[in-house]
Amino acid sequence: MTYCLGIITRHGLILAADSRTNAGVDHISTYQKLFNFSDTGQRVLLIATSGNLSITQAVINELNQDLELKDENLHSLPTLYDVAQYIGGKIRQIQSQERPWLEKDRIDYHSTLLLAGQVRDEAPGLFMIYSQGNFIQATPETPFLQIGETKYGKPILDRTLTYDTPLEEAAKSALLSIDSTMKSNISVGPPIDLVMYETDSLCLRHQLRLRSGDSYLAKMRQLWEISLRQAFEQMPNIEWEHIEDKDIGEEGS
Amino acid sequence: MTYCLGIITRHGLILAADSRTNAGVDHISTYQKLFNFSDTGQRVLLIATSGNLSITQAVINELNQDLELKDENLHSLPTLYDVAQYIGGKIRQIQSQERPWLEKDRIDYHSTLLLAGQVRDEAPGLFMIYSQGNFIQATPETPFLQIGETKYGKPILDRTLTYDTPLEEAAKSALLSIDSTMKSNISVGPPIDLVMYETDSLCLRHQLRLRSGDSYLAKMRQLWEISLRQAFEQMPNIEWEHIEDKDIGEEGS
């Protein structure tokens, strides 16, 4: 499995991904899932991938090849919406080649991508591009999108993120969301790749790869656990009901 | 969907459940999913249910009928293990009657139960009984079991629960786990039923039903959100890498 998430706020973008892939429990590997296709000064384009690795690698390869060989490519398309549509088209092309062969052996061929970035003279944007090639866009009301193993890390985002959250805080929120997921699900694992982009800078100044046992990750995790425990101890005591009120009753008696 | 969880510690048991069921988004209802079959002084038996409502209601009805009509029932079986096996048998009986009819129309017939309790002269136990009638038991290394929509509420349990956790704290942990799930997933909803059982008491002294808008729930949620935000602000600042080190590189350039 995989866990990637993108965040958009009024201050910029965050994209984060783990690096674990698995095909069964006896075939666990590390693959980069966060890719930078930026053309500094002109456009920032970041892609995170989840799902069937052969499909997502093929898509990334096609995107790279087009940059070398084709006029229509990630750097030439005029808007971020056009870029999302073009990537959706690539997914459809690869899916139509590969899917019949994978489907025969009941191998999951799905793959979902996040696209985060900004094209000069446009606002930044964050898209989720589905396995079917269609896509949705994050909005101020829903400022984050997740792909892969999304549920474990969602509560922390729901409680801490809004469109007005400062960018550094949003980055911490993303790290904690991935760290919570890693703790609860072994199919998501380090290194964690994290990129923070400030609106209108048109270049990437902040990125980070946190490896297993990284001191920042260890410090963050320790502090988080202490804080949770403290929060926990401050919770008001439960006001139990008198047993006479018994709401759940007693069956069969 | 549904979310129920059971916790076993050296001090006793916790069983908790939400009350929302849904058959599509336009058919959301409230049903009790936590049932008390105790025989005070002799045995405490608590059951929480998830999955197809017609199946789980049939199982609960059969358990009640046997208490009236049969010699072999929840109050006569000599051990908790026997009780788990008997309930597994009931699930198999109902499944074999109902499954062919539901399967024809591709209706999900799965149903999973939690059984928590203590039979006199035995230690307390916590079981998860699967839709297939087989079951597993919680142990000191894995002191909680979840059924239904389990992922959102798992990180908080992973970070706060051990076999040595005091019972009142375990109860708070359970409430926060359900509350986190309710916040992130609309298919899980109030009222929350919560029961706490102290080892060897052989009676239920602590139970609680928290309805939507309940003042304790509101207070707990507010305090939790403040604590999370504080924890969050205390996180060390991210030490970004110099962009020269760029680990994720730049594709196509």
pLDDT per position as a tens digit, A196-214: 999 999 999 999 999 888 8
Distance from CA of B152 to the nearest CA of A (A): 5
Residues B34, B35, B37, CA angle at the centre, nearest 5°?
155
Distance from CA of B28 to the nearest CA of A (A): 21
Judged on CB neighbours under 10 Å (0-12, 13-18, 19+), B216 is: middle
For residue B242, the SS3 value is: coil
- Are B252 and A37 a contacting pair at CB < 8 A? yes
Give the integer Cα–Cα distance in Å for A42 and A74.
Answer: 11
Binding-face residues of B in 162-191 toward A, CB within 8 A: 168-169, 171-173, 175-176, 180-181, 183-185
Give the integer Cα–Cα distance in Å for A1 and A187.
Answer: 5
Judge whether residue A253 has pLDDT over 90: no
For residue A45, the SS3 value is: strand
Q: For the residues A50-73, what does the mean pLDDT come to?
A: 95
pLDDT per position as a tens digit, B129-156: 999 999 999 999 999 999 999 999 999 8
Buried b (16+ CB within 10 A) or exposed e, B136-148: eebeeeebbbbbb
Name the least confident of A8-17, A144-153, A181-190, A244-253: A244-253
Mutation target to probe the B interface, by most B beta carbons within 10 A, among A46, A61, A62, A238 is A238
Name the least confident of A58-62, A243-247, B137-141: A243-247
Judge whether residue B247 has pLDDT over 80: no
Other CB atoms within a 10 A radius of the CB of residue A64 amount to 17
At residue A249 the predicted structure's pLDDT band, cuts being 50, 70 and 90, is low
- Yes or no: say if B227 and B41 are a contact pair by the CB < 8 Å rule: no
pLDDT of residue B246: 45
Other CB atoms within a 10 A radius of the CB of residue A36 amount to 22
Residues 6+ apart with CB under 8 A from A88: A129, A130, A133, A134, A135
Radius of gyration of chain B (CA): 21
Interface ipTM above 0.95: no
Distance from CA of B246 to the nearest CA of A (A): 7
pLDDT per position as a tens digit, B94-142: 999 999 999 999 999 999 999 999 999 999 999 999 999 999 999 999 9
- Are A227 and B227 a contacting pair at CB < 8 A? yes
Mutation target to probe the A interface, by most A beta carbons within 10 A, among B168, B248, B250, B253 is B248
Could you tell me which of A124, A134, A157 has the C-alpha nearest to residue A4? Answer: A157
Judge whether residue A168 has pLDDT over 50: yes
- In order, the DSSP letters of B16-37 are EE--EEESSTT-EEE---EEE-
Average pLDDT, rounded, for chain A: 91
Buried b (16+ CB within 10 A) or exposed e, A154-175: bbbbebbbebebebbbbbbbbb
- Are B252 and A171 a contacting pair at CB < 8 A? no
- Yes or no: say if A33 and A175 are a contact pair by the CB < 8 Å rule: no
Please list the alpha-helical segments (H only) found in B73-214. Answer: 80-104, 154-160, 167-184
Contacts of B205 in chain A (CB under 8 A): 240, 243
Domains and CATH numbers, chain A: 3-233 (3.60.20.10)
pLDDT of residue A226: 86
pLDDT per position as a tens digit, B176-233: 999 989 888 888 888 999 999 999 999 999 999 998 888 888 888 888 888 888 887 8
Name the least confident of A45-49, A86-90, A181-185, A229-233: A229-233
At residue B245 the predicted structure's pLDDT band, cuts being 50, 70 and 90, is very low
Mutation target to probe the A interface, by most A beta carbons within 10 A, among B184, B222, B239 is B184
- Are B193 and A219 a contacting pair at CB < 8 A? no
Judged on CB neighbours under 10 Å (0-12, 13-18, 19+), A143 is: buried
Which residue on chain A is closest to B225 by alpha carbon? A159
Q: For the residues A168-173, what does the mean pLDDT come to?
A: 93
Other CB atoms within a 10 A radius of the CB of residue A147 amount to 23
Whether A243 has its CB under 8 Å from any CB of chain B: the answer is: yes
pLDDT of residue A251: 58
pLDDT per position as a tens digit, B15-67: 999 988 777 667 778 888 999 999 999 999 999 999 999 999 999 999 999 99
Judge whether residue B162 has pLDDT over 80: yes
Mutation target to probe the A interface, by most A beta carbons within 10 A, among B67, B220, B235 is B235
- Are B236 and A220 a contacting pair at CB < 8 A? yes
Highest-scoring range by mean pLDDT, A134-148, A210-224, B15-29: A134-148
Distance from CA of B104 to the nearest CA of A (A): 22
pLDDT of residue B22: 76
Whether A197 has its CB under 8 Å from any CB of chain B: the answer is: no
Distance from CA of B184 to the nearest CA of A (A): 6
Distance from CA of A49 to the nearest CA of B (A): 13
Residues 6+ apart with CB under 8 A from B25: none
- Are A236 and B223 a contacting pair at CB < 8 A? yes
Distance from CA of A109 to the nearest CA of B (A): 23
Tokens matching residue A186: 């072994």
pLDDT of residue A26: 72
Angle between helices B215-234 and A167-184 (to 10 degrees): 110
Amino acid at the residue A243: I
Binding-face residues of B in 80-119 toward A, CB within 8 A: none
- Yes or no: say if B75 and B109 are a contact pair by the CB < 8 Å rule: no
Contacts of B38 in chain A (CB under 8 A): 250, 253
